[in-house]
Amino acid sequence: MGALVHRDFQRVYPVMSRGKGVFLYDQSGREYLDAVGGIAVVNIGHGVSEVVAAMSKQAEKVAFVHDAAFANEPAVAFAEELATWAPSSLRHVLLLSGGSEATETAMKLARQYHLEHGKAGKYRIVSRWISYHGNTLGALSMSGRPAWRKAFTPLLLNFPKIPAPYCYRCPMGKAYPECNVACADELERTICMEGSDSIAAFIAEPVIGTSAAGVTPPPEYYPRIREICDRYDVLFIADEVITGVGRTGKNFGIEHWEATPDLITVAKGLSSGYAPLAAVLLRDNVYDAIARGSGGITQGFTYSGHPLSAAVGLAVLRYLAAHDLVANAARIGRLLLERLATLTRYPIVGDVRGTGLLQGVEFVADQATRHPWPRKAEVTRRIVEAALDEGVMVVPGMAGIVDGVAGDHIQISPPYIFTEAHVERLVAGLEAAIQRVVRELSAVRN
Ligand SMILES: Cc1ncc(COP(=O)(O)O)c(C=O)c1O
């Protein structure tokens, strides 16, 4: 199998050797529609020459300086540009290399914020089940993803979790709007039960990513979360590693609600995948507390503020603006959702949901009862593989959406340059895949 260690030791991984626009090509030259942007990363498409040029120009000038000792021009310029994308009070930008670094850093900044105010007891982070915030131990401690936590449970921090705002399978057994977003009030109950003097922050993905792709809370949800956080001196961290820089059709996903977070984490599409790049945006209150207090942070990584990554980030933000791609994500997102909704005529399609170009399809054994398929039916794997045979790439959703074990769903998160024709090709490919899986499952059942 060669020296390279893959995630699945049994699987033979197809090699992709080239990408252009919304298409990837394998070694035999076969074309695939990249309807997932890698994994909600490739926002402006593959092979964009402006980004390649910016990268190579910077590499010729200087590829690396250490941010603990020096500033560099692209990092300064990129931070200025990114700040203009964010709500005006979140204009302080810390540069990093990946999503887990960003959420882990946000966790520590929340702790430091309270330390600066003499509240050393406030260090725990509340998050939600059916969530993902990264794979390092702090980030995994915040992640409500049972399948990935299991093996490492003894190493994880004791952070509380509240139910997800997952209306299709309401964990509180209620229905919107009669529920009066009781799932948001669970934050208050948990803070009180755990003791507000121990809780530093609440972290959430504004629109849920691969753990339940496209699940979008109701309009009252985040304003209620913000009120509760304010009441108990708890910071609100919006994890926009996926939803940041336009994926949901607005600059940041949280802007769909009237609620301003104290910290925003962003990664993935920030560089459109051309180089590793992430950031934490600090609101004035957090930045000022540190500036007036200890005066600095003790977190840093060798590659923080990397000049090449920053040059890429700047080129990507400029490309998004020049081609009005966030507006296109909103427009094409609406069309995609409409077209995917037609697939509910197939008995295995339970729910279609999403905002902008972050969408998901959930599969069920029974549309009326929403009963899931048994794990061994491997519906998600079947759908993803059948779609790939049709030349369409979709991402398998994380297992366990129903009860930590069962539940099948996929994520669709194409580049923002998707057109009407790409939507039609995606829906046709997915429909053919669903038809094939319906046939396979009826053979399994009989
Ligand atoms: C919402 C969210 N936060 C954090 C992460 C972790 O990012 P990374 O894989 O870059 O460490 C992810 C990755 O999928 C994510 O979706």
**Which tens digits make up the pLDDT trace of 367-394?**
999 999 999 999 999 999 999 999 999 9
In whole numbers, what is the pLDDT of the chain averaged over residues? 97
Would you say the CB of residue 206 lies under 6 angstroms from ligand 1?
no
Residue 199 has pLDDT above 70, yes or no: yes
Which residue, among 192, 189, 216, has the nearest Cα to 204 in the 3D structure?
Answer: 216
pLDDT at 325: 98
Cα 243 to Cα 266: distance, rounded to the nearest angstrom: 8
pTM (whole model) above 0.85:
yes
Residue 138 forms beta bridges with which residues?
none
Compute the distance from residue 353 Cα to the ligand 1 centre, in Å.
Answer: 20
By three-state DSSP, how is residue 100 classified? helix
Between the CA of 200 and the centroid of ligand 1 the distance, in Å, is 21
72 with 65: CB under 8 angstroms? yes
104 ligand 1 Cβ < 6 A: no
Residue 42 contacts residue 242 (beta carbons within 8 Å): no
Q: What is the tens place of the pLDDT at every residue in 112-157?
A: 999 999 999 999 999 999 999 999 999 999 999 999 999 999 999 9
The answer to whether the CB of 269 is under 6 A from ligand 1 is no
**446 has a pLDDT exceeding 70:** no
* For the chain, percent of residues with pLDDT exceeding 70: 99
Pocket test residue of 101, 268, 395 for ligand 1, highest count of atoms within 8 A of CB: 268
133: Cβ below 6 Å to ligand 1?
A: yes
Q: Contact, 431 vs 388, CB < 8 A?
A: no
Residue nearest atom 8 in ligand 1 by C-alpha distance = 99
Extract the tokens encoding 235.
Answer: 């910071």
Nearest partner of 299 among 325, 324, 278, judged by Cα: 278
The Cα 13–Cα 78 span in angstroms is 35
Query: How far apart are the CA of 240 and the centre of ligand 1, in A?
Result: 9
How does residue 1 score in pLDDT terms, banded at 50, 70 and 90?
low
Query: What is the CA(209)–ligand 1 centre distance, in A?
Result: 9
Q: Is 38 in the pocket of ligand 1 (CB under 6 A)?
A: no
